[in-house]
Amino acid sequence: MKNQTSMPEFLLLGFSDIWELQILHFTVFLVVYLAALIGNLLIIIVIAFDRHLHTPMYFFLINLSFLDLCYISVTVPKSMANSLMNIRTISFSGCVTQLFLVVTFAITELALLTVMAYDRYIAICRPLHYGVLMNRGKCTQMAAGAWLSSMMCAMIHTGNTFRLHFCRSNVVSQFFCNIPQLLKLACGETRVNDIVMLVLGSAAAVSCFVFIVVSYIHIFFTVMRIPSEQGRYKAFSTCLPHLIVFCLFLGTSTLTYMGPRSKSSKALDLVTAVIYSVVPPTLNPIIYSLRNNEIKGALRKIIKRLYIRVKILSDFMDCN
C-alpha cells in the first residue's frame, strides 16, 4: 500500500465471516446495548427527578451513568451495524473520532471510579466532615477535573497516534479503532508512542490504584469497628462491588494499552476489549444503583406517579 499519512478508510475486525455468527454477534450486542441503555437512562431519570437523591454519591452516579451511555455508544452500535450489513469499513475521520472518544471515556471511567472511592472513604471514615469535604462545589470540581484531564490525555494520545504513517495495512485487529492495533499498522518508529502511552498510562493507573487501595484499607478497618453485623454488611455490600469493577476495568485496560504488542493475540485482545469497553457500562447500573434500596424506592415512586397520572387522564377521557 502506498506510504501515506492518512488512509481513506480502515477495516475493523469482524467477529466472524459466517453470516449466522454475524447475526448472533449482532443479537448479543443488541441485548447488551439495550440493557446498558435502559439501565443507565433509568438511573439518570430517577436521580434527576428525586430531590432526596441530590447528594454527592448520586451526583457521581449520574455522571457515571451518563459516561457509560456515551462509552458504550461509541463502539457497540458501529460494530452491530457492520455485522448486520456485512461490512467492516470505517472512515479515517471516523477512526480518529472513535479513538479520541474511547480514550476519553476510558480515562474518565477510571477517574470517576477513583473519585467515588474517595466519596465512600469520607462517608464511612469521616462522616462528620462529609458535608464540608463533599459539598456541591467540590463535587463539581472533581467531576469536571475528571472529564477535562481525560480529554487532554486523549488529545495527546490521538495526536501522537495519527501523526504516524500507516503503510503496512489498513486492517485494524479490533472491533473499534484502538491505539495498540493502530500502532501495529505504522511503518515508522513507534518508540515515542510507546513511551508516552507507558508514562501517562502508568501514572494514571498507579495513582488511581494506590489511592483506591489506601481508601479501602481505611474503610475496611473503620467498618470492622462497627458493632452491628448488619451495619458491616451494608458497608461492605456498598464498597465491594465498586472495588471488583475497578480492578476488572483497570486490569483489562492495562493489559490492552501497556502489554507487549508482539505477544498479544487477536482472541485475547478481543476479549479484553469487550471486558473493559462493554462490560462496565452494562454492569454498573446493576452493581451501583439498581440494587440500591434508595434508587429502587425512588423508581417505585416515579412509576406510581406515572400510573396515577395515566389513570386520571384515562378517567378524564372516559368522562368526555
pTM of the model: 0.86
User: ∠ CA 282-285-286 to the nearest 5 degrees?
Assistant: 90
Residue 2 lies inside a defined structural domain of this protein:
no
**Residue 55 main-chain phi, psi, to 5 deg:** -120, 165
Residue 261 lies inside a defined structural domain of this protein:
yes
Residue 67 lies inside a defined structural domain of this protein:
yes
CB 216 within 8 A of CB 243: yes
CATH number at residue 183: 1.20.1070.10
Range of the domain at 52: 9-319
State the pLDDT at residue 1: 39
| Alpha helix ranges (H) inside 126-278 | 130-133, 136-161, 179-183, 191-224, 229-258, 266-277
Burial class, 217, CB count within 10 angstroms (exposed 0-12 / middle 13-18 / buried 19+) = exposed
Residue 259 lies inside a defined structural domain of this protein:
yes
Residue 3 lies inside a defined structural domain of this protein:
no
State the pLDDT at residue 4: 45
Tell me, what amino acid is at 225? R
State the pLDDT at residue 50: 83
Question: Helix, strand, coil: what percent of the chain each, to 5?
Answer: 80, 5, 15
Residue 255 lies inside a defined structural domain of this protein:
yes
Residue 1 lies inside a defined structural domain of this protein:
no
Helix (H, G, I), strand (E, B) or coil at 11: strand
Alpha carbons 144 and 142: distance in angstroms, whole number: 6
Residue 298 lies inside a defined structural domain of this protein:
yes
**Residue 172 main-chain phi, psi, to 5 deg:** -85, 120
Helix (H, G, I), strand (E, B) or coil at 118: helix
Alpha carbons 91 and 88: distance in angstroms, whole number: 10
In the chain, the number of structural domains is 1
Alpha carbons 260 and 189: distance in angstroms, whole number: 16
Query: What are the grid coordinates assigned to 34, written together?
Result: 439495550
Question: pLDDT tens track of the chain, all 320 residues?
Answer: 344 445 678 888 777 777 888 888 889 999 999 999 999 998 898 888 888 888 888 899 999 999 999 999 999 999 898 888 888 888 889 999 999 999 999 999 999 989 988 988 898 888 888 888 888 899 999 999 999 999 999 999 999 998 888 877 788 888 899 888 888 888 877 888 888 888 888 888 888 889 988 988 888 888 878 777 776 776 666 677 777 778 878 877 777 777 666 556 677 778 888 888 888 888 888 877 656 777 777 778 888 887 787 777 776 676 76
